Amino acid sequence: MIEKLKSYYAIHMERLEHRDRIFINNPVVMQGLGLVPIVAVGTNMKNACVMALAVLLLLTPTRVLAALFSRSTQFRFKAVAYCISAATVYVLVSWLLLDVFKLPSQTIGLYLPLLVTEPLVIKRYAHTSQESVTKAVTKGLITTAGFLIVLFISAALREIIGAGTFFGKTLFKTAPIPYLSMIGGGFILVGILIALWRNLVHGFKREVHKR
Amino acid sequence: MITANAIFSGGIGGFLLVIFYAVFTQNAVLSRGLGSSRLTKLIGDDEKDAWLFAVLLLIIQVLCGTVGWMANRWLVPLFGSFRTHLRPLILALSICTVFFLMFLLSVQLFNLEKARRIVRQLPIAAFNCCIMGTMLLTCSQQYSFGQTVAFSIGSAVGYMLSLLLMQAGSRKLDRSQIPESFRGLPTTLVYLGILSLVFYGLIGHSLAV
């Protein structure tokens, strides 16, 4: 399985370096996008699940709507199209999460509406090229997947090491490093996680290039 | 816990206290993580551009705070029980208004080269989590107009302070001593985490045990 994957990457490396948003070109690890939800909200798995659902419902529709809007928008004003699209989609997402699914949003607070200006959701405006609707759908879904992986890894580690629990169930009587439950600790953990991830990517690329 | 409502009793002293509160106790980046994605990128940017961004952020933050306060007071209540869902859209529209205003002002007031530099930074400064986060905070805490302006100034100054500290740290780093995979974003984030801890020590946040 791993050998097959390696040979696939060896053949398609150049293309995958741009398109693979999950491992090689992960939006959080390589571009530093989506740091606010990961660091401020991803302190435990329950919060991470609510945030994940919000991003899943928001990111791709925003890109699609913005791709349609920004066709008639000048490059300098594309940011407006992306932000308004995100805020419009957010109205529906917020209604679904809070009124229909009745998810607990108190712990997330202002970070849920903050997704409207989150670079992960709207940063596509900085590209000069026009995005087609099909590309917006595929790239939106892949970017969401890449973000969710880092969010869940970080939230799981922070809950276990920072609070000594996992999904609220106690694993340790005392939390090993309580500082990880705070924003500062989140920065440190995500920094280390990114360094390890980048190390893995470099190692993987070296291995593939050897072939 | 000191709150802006408790310390703001009017007058210039109260106004300055809210600014102080926003810079240190509620620092946008170090206490709340707002705008951290952009901040990590600014460290690698040209210093002139980074400071132009910071000044733009300050102006936009104050203008957005003002427009957002008016929108939240007079427009948002019209939507009744649906206002929670619509508030971000109304605040986003406020940001867009300020963005267009700043765009027109930069084109009118500055020569072509300066205006181009400003216009390049404008969308990044306006559509920033620090701006939206501060607006959401002042709206949810139901600050008065004076408190909103003071908190907006303090929030942007807090962002500038974080940028200053990050740049100072970055200049002193000996890159040859840092392992390759830690260079750039990871080091910046670890440094941000340590700075955040310093702030917690300074203002007395207790650890969430």
* pLDDT for residue A93: 95
- Rounded to two decimals, the ipTM of the complex is 0.92
pLDDT tens by residue, A150-176:
999 999 999 999 999 999 999 999 999
Q: How far is B10 from chain A (nearest CA, A)?
A: 27
Amino acid at A207: E
Tell whether B196 is within 8 A of chain A (Cβ). Answer: yes
Decide if B7 is inside a domain: no
Decide if B163 is inside a domain: yes
Interface of A with B in 158-197 (CB under 8 A): 162-163, 175, 178-179, 181-192, 194-196
How far is it, in rounded angstroms, from Cα B181 to Cα B167?
20
* pLDDT for residue B3: 53
pLDDT tens by residue, A24-67:
999 999 999 999 999 999 999 999 999 999 999 999 999 999 99
Counting residues of chain A whose pLDDT is more than 90, the rounded percentage is 70
pLDDT tens by residue, A119-154:
999 988 888 888 899 999 999 999 999 999 999 999
Decide if B92 is inside a domain: yes
Phi/psi at B64 (5° precision): -65, -40
* pLDDT for residue A10: 77
Cα of A208 vs its chain's centroid, Å? 26
Q: Are A124 and A82 in contact (CB under 8 A)?
A: yes
What contacts A200, CB < 8 A, 6 or more positions away? none
* pLDDT for residue A105: 67
Cβ pair A35:B200 closer than 8 A: no
Counting residues of chain B whose pLDDT is more than 90, the rounded percentage is 65
User: Which pTM was predicted?
Assistant: 0.91
SS3 assignment, position B156: helix
Tell whether B31 is within 8 A of chain A (Cβ). Answer: yes
> Residue B31 sits in which domain range?
14-167+182-203
pLDDT classification of A190: cutoffs 50, 70, 90 = very high
Q: Minimal CA–CA distance to A51: which of A114, A101, A123, A112?
A: A112
Decide if B9 is inside a domain: no
Cβ pair A196:B181 closer than 8 A: yes
Rounded average pLDDT over A73-83: 86
A165 → chain B, closest CA residue: B209
Q: How many domains does chain B have?
A: 1
Interface of B with A in 40-79 (CB under 8 A): 40-41
**Average pLDDT of the residues of chain A:** 90
pLDDT at B4 over 70: no
Rounded average pLDDT over B68-77: 95
Tell whether B28 is within 8 A of chain A (Cβ). Answer: no
Decide if B140 is inside a domain: yes
Cβ pair B36:A187 closer than 8 A: yes
